[in-house]
A and B are shown apart, each in its own frame.
Chain A
Amino acid sequence: MANVLIDGLKERIANAIKVNQSIGILLPGSNYSDLLQALFEHIESKTEEAWVYVSVTKPYDTLVKQYEYLADAKNVKFIDCISRAAGILRTDENCVYIESPTMLEKLGLEIINTFKEVKENTKKYLVIDSLSNLIVYNDPDIVTEFFYHIVNRTRAKDIHTISLAIEEEGLEKHLNRLVYLNDKILKVRDSFI
């Protein structure tokens, strides 16, 4: 069942990304790890592309332990927004650490700086994992403003944004407003796959 779900997700992600638009993926918490696996398998298969993965959900170290191939992956760089705030001090060649998920301007700078190192004519993708967790640490209005800036700046630089939003009670209003800033919305439901 899990494989069917992941394969279905991979197919949907691959199809959504093809259109080169910013994509919002709205999903229930129960599907989060499946989506992550599908996303990382997709990234792993696209060695010629450049990906930047912003994690506000899990520390880089945890992600690498879970998906070992990420540690040596040359086509994906990470920006970890939570390790420092949790008192985890480490340095990794493949990861930029932000002091706190409230440092949104710094996060924006690091996203752009990381993409500056990518060769021209490479397809560039940004993953924000997740908008819902950014709202946990920040005022929803400021997250909206941040996301609006990011979507516009990345669009101008031909970077395609994929933002995850995990459905949570009480956050629907804010998440809907955020997710609808994207060109395309992918709603993940068990029954759809």
Chain B
Amino acid sequence: MQEEERLMVNGNLCKTGIEELDIQLGGGIPTGSTVLVVGSSGSGKTTLCMQFLINAANQGERGVFFTITEPLFKLTKNMEGFSFYDKKLIESGMVNLIDLRIISERLGLDTEKYTVEDASALLDILRDIADELNVKRLIIDSITALCYRLQTPEMIRDFIFKLGSSLAAMKCTTLLTSEVPPMTFQYSQYGIEEFISDGIMFLGDFERKGDLIRTFQLVKMRGAAHSRTKSAMSISSKNGVELAPLLKSRE
């Protein structure tokens, strides 16, 4: 079997490479889907997304990671602590890390506030980069920070729908991270992001005897017979993100 085919199950499922997650997904994410990865600060959104890209790159599938929340040196420094992270994949161009703020600067845009035209130009650039690099997987970290730079709810709404159409046309499997306040059960900051998404992964936590236990739940995944069970999620330098059955006895 070819390396690339190993990532695809039944022809059109995109494996995350995280064993338990792929089982929950019924094999993988339907290829071409846009998935919202929701969680509060420190919930593991960036790590999960990076692992998704690296696992694919290890199997010969190219990906791009657009960040707008932290500078690249900080992102890579954080990732270097994980054994799944392989610098060679970045150097070889199998995983491309791009700081959207630098792109904005180069386009002459105000990096803190976007006009409708700015947002549209940025979308074009995103699409061009994805096409040029011929990527199969794309990450935007985060959609919340991107929308934060837009001035009005109407602009945000318009941008999100245009982004949805662009992503659908690109045919890559996309993860959009969405930041929400801690201990809440909402999927997005602006209430629109979930409507352009084919899937929602919710990263939460709860307190047990004073300790915070990370949780993971697949809320929706169009086109996949997926589990909706809440799992415990672990993040370790050795194995990255892992899922385990959540113990549900009363506390």
Please state if A103 and B242 are interface contacts (CB–CB under 8 Å).
Answer: no
Interface members, chain A 96-129 (any B CB < 8 Å): 99-100, 102-106, 108-109, 113
Cα-based distance from A100 to B244 in the complex (angstroms): 16
Cα-based distance from A3 to B19 in the complex (angstroms): 48
What number of B residues sit within 8 Å (CB to CB) of A?
Answer: 18
Known A-B contacts A105-B234, A105-B244, A106-B234; A139 and B250 likewise in contact (beta carbons under 8 Å)? yes
Q: Can you list 22 A-B contacts (CB < 8 A)?
A: A100-B211, A102-B209, A102-B210, A102-B211, A102-B213, A105-B232, A105-B234, A105-B244, A106-B234, A106-B244, A108-B245, A109-B234, A109-B242, A109-B244, A113-B238, A113-B239, A113-B242, A141-B249, A142-B247, A142-B249, A142-B251, A144-B249
Chain A, interface SS category: helix
Cα-based distance from A138 to B249 in the complex (angstroms): 11
Please state if A106 and B232 are interface contacts (CB–CB under 8 Å).
Answer: yes
Contacting residues, chain B, for A113 (C-beta < 8 A): 238-239, 242
Cα-based distance from A106 to B169 in the complex (angstroms): 40
Q: How far is the CB of A102 from chain B (nearest CB, A)?
A: 5
Query: Does chain B have a CB within 8 A of A149?
Result: yes
Summed over the interface, the residue pairs from A and B with CB atoms below 8 Å come to a total of 47
Please state if B246 and A105 are interface contacts (CB–CB under 8 Å).
Answer: yes
Query: Does chain A have a CB within 8 A of B74?
Result: no
Query: Does chain B have a CB within 8 A of A180?
Result: no
> Please, which residue of chain B has its CB at the minimum distance from the CB of A144?
B249
> Which residue in A99, A108, A145 is a CB contact (below 8 Å) of B248?
A145
Q: How far is the CB of B85 from chain A (nearest CB, A)?
A: 18
Query: Does chain A have a CB within 8 A of B106?
Result: no
Cα-based distance from A102 to B249 in the complex (angstroms): 13
Contacting residues, chain B, for A145 (C-beta < 8 A): 247-249
Please state if A139 and B244 are interface contacts (CB–CB under 8 Å).
Answer: no
Known A-B contacts A99-B211, A138-B209; A104 and B247 likewise in contact (beta carbons under 8 Å)? yes
Query: Does chain A have a CB within 8 A of B208?
Result: yes
Query: Does chain B have a CB within 8 A of A69?
Result: no
Q: Can you list the 3 inter-chain pairs with the closest CB atoms, starting with the nearest?
A: A105-B232, A141-B249, A142-B249
Query: Does chain B have a CB within 8 A of A67?
Result: no
> Please, which residue of chain B has its CB at the minimum distance from the CB of A116?
B239
